[in-house]
A and B are shown apart, each in its own frame.
Chain A
Amino acid sequence: MEKRVVFQNRFLPYLLVAPQIAITLVFFFWPASQAVVQSVLREDAFGTTSYFVGLENFQLLFEDEYYANSFKVTALFSTLVAVLGLSISLLLAVTADRLIRGTMVYKTLLIWPYAVAPAVAGALWGFVFLPGPGVFAWLLGQMGVNWNFHLNGNQAMFVIVVAATWKQISYNFLFFLAGLQAIPKSLIEAAAIDGAGPFRRFWTIVFPLLSPTLFFLIVVNVVYAFFETFGVVHSLTRGGPAKSTEILVYKVWYDGFEAQDLGGSAAQSVILMAIVIGLTVVQFRYIERKVHY
């Protein structure tokens, strides 16, 4: 059954959605349109004049090996963050689902990281991994690893993946736990009587029933890794060393605000916009329909 609210006053509904529409227009549509406009312009060195260059900004981008590198870095980074974040949080959720005592404490503690701002999370992990005095760095040093993520690109990638994943686990955990608790206990019991052991039950019953949650989270995690990890990267590696952790959003900011190439930066924004639109379409069109059992 569909519940519909019927408004007596014809203007009230518009009035009620007006604040949201205003926010969307001012903070989303207007900047987005500015980015599109900017992406076909080029500014002079002092930012006083700009002129139309067509698609030249895009053309330059696709010839730029740093941009290709940034794509690769982002692909690796978001894959690692999504896969690690989802696996760890699924494991934690399954464990929490089995707990009988202390569930509240466990859940509360797991949700805390979500409340930490990305830049702060980055700073925290920066301390942990700080070459020399950092706890983790010290441990690795004891094991004979030459640790310095400011110099080693792979180590730098490792650090931002850990920080970004850690922050996202809470969110994934909540959704997985809710998904697990929505599965009737009798299904698991029926499978146990039918002869399935714990692993079999998980892969043939629980996991398929979690798949809508999982696909939703994959999209959310990829979007997170693409767009919301700027703070983590900025506070930990600043895209370095040697651009080994320069993910796309970081490059947008760097090229625009540090390198002062507003046109190129805007062109990158437009490409990112296209990616996020693509992901959203996938989420709403394809996944919502296909993954339902």
Chain B
Amino acid sequence: MAKVSLQGVKKNYGSIRVIHGVDIEIKDGEFIVIVGPSGCGKSTLLRMIAGLEAITEGSIGIGDRVVNDIEPRDRDIAMVFQNYALYPHMSVFENISYGLRIRGMSKADIQKRVDRAADILQLQPYLQRRPRELSGGQRQRVAMGRAIVREPSVFLFDEPLSNLDAKLRVQMRLEIKRLHQQLGVTSIYVTHDQVEAMTLADRLIVMNQGRAEQIGSPAEVYSNPATTYVGGFIGSPPMNFVPCKVEAGQAVLDDGTSLALPERLRGTPAGAYILGIRPENMHVAQPGQGAQFTLAVDVAEELGADTLLHGKIAGTDVVVRLPSTAGFHDNSRPSLVADMAQVHLYDRESGRNIH
């Protein structure tokens, strides 16, 4: 087990800059999820940690040494690939033990380690089969088994669940989480799925166009997104963004609606901003409370416990999540109050959170 540190890590392909400098200190045993849309550089970053891509600038450390110029095999890492990358001509046992055999481990030790991994992953009945005789979920487990037996200091996962169907994905997600609790190995996990990211991570790295937009715990990233991009990417449905002007401790929307800012935002200099609020932070106005605004519902999506109301506030599309028991549907016009303690103001130009 080891800590991993990235310092000013950059990657260029010729003149094209793919990673613009990522800094993070990953603690021993931490589960880090790198999340972002396709093309944001998340896989490249992981492959740089694995040693499969050269580092253009900056340094990557695993344990106490800088690994920039160290071969993948000497980095003491194991990686699970998106397509599993199982060796098709080897049995499950041979696949799992390949790394151990190369390192010249004794037959008895190999047997012991493979047996243990197979027990953890419930692969015992399949050890003599070839990968093509396995289902997607089983192949996924073999890929994990191959990583586990090596007992590396760091696990790297490159979108390991994206080839599985939805149900299996949820199940495997849980298994990965359990496995991490059981083994406690530092893990770095790349995904584009924000639910996977939220549920697995101790800390998240939200990537956008080669930059780490925010690094923080899932709760932190969710409740206090550093940029409008993060607010829009994490959370389903995403955070609502409504243009506003700030004057004398009030946020004034385009239709003149005036909302009193909470204590922490009251000192915000006057100017044009974007108001960010999560769908669940708007509530039905209680009698006597006085509605702050009325939502013209366009479509209501009932999810069971909650209903998502899609409509407009001050000419901007928003989504509001209310309990289904509130009883709103298409074309309703509920009176709402915003939980102003949960709102954030973002700079209109940079999209950065104004604290």
Contact = CB atoms under 8 A, between A and B. Distances in A.
B89 A186 contact: no
Interface stretch (A41-49, A151-159, A187-195, A277-285): A187-195
B99 A192 contact: no
Query: Which 4 pairs between the two chains have the least Cβ-Cβ distance?
Result: A293-B89, A194-B99, A186-B85, A190-B85
Q: Is the interface on chain B under 10, 10 to 19, 20 to 34, or 35 or more residues?
A: 20 to 34
A205 B87 contact: yes
A194 B50 contact: no
B158 to A, nearest CB: 9
Given A208-B89, A293-B88, A193 B79 contact: yes
A interface bracket (residues with beta carbon within 8 Å of B): 10 to 19
Interface string A59-102: 00000000000000000000000000000000000000000000
A197 interface: yes
Contacts of A191: 87, 98
B261 interface: no
Interface of A: 184, 186-187, 189-197, 200, 204-205, 208-209, 293
B87 A187 contact: yes
Contacts of A293: 88-89, 130
Given A189-B52, A190-B79, A293-B130, A196 B102 contact: yes
Interface in B92-137: 98-99, 102-103, 130
A195 B130 CA distance: 22
Contact of B102 (A184, A186, A195, A209): A195
Contacts of A197: 73
A209 B130 CA distance: 14
A30 B50 CA distance: 64
* Chain B contact residues: helix, strand, loop or mixed: loop
Interface in B56-103: 71-73, 77-79, 81-83, 85, 87-89, 98-99, 102-103
B81 A190 contact: yes
B146 interface: yes
12 contacts: A189-B72, A190-B79, A192-B52, A193-B72, A194-B78, A194-B98, A194-B102, A196-B73, A196-B98, A196-B102, A197-B73, A209-B89
Contacts of A187: 85, 87
Given A190-B81, A194-B146, 16 more contacts: A186-B81, A186-B82, A186-B85, A187-B85, A190-B79, A193-B51, A194-B78, A194-B150, A195-B73, A195-B103, A196-B73, A200-B102, A204-B98, A205-B87, A293-B89, A293-B130
Contacts of B50: 189, 193
Contacts of A190: 79, 81, 85, 87, 146
Q: Which of A187, A189, A194, A205 has most B Cβ within 10 Å? A: A194
A184 B150 CA distance: 22
A192 B78 CA distance: 10
Interface in B208-256: none
A208 B130 CA distance: 14
A218 B147 CA distance: 37
B77 A193 contact: yes
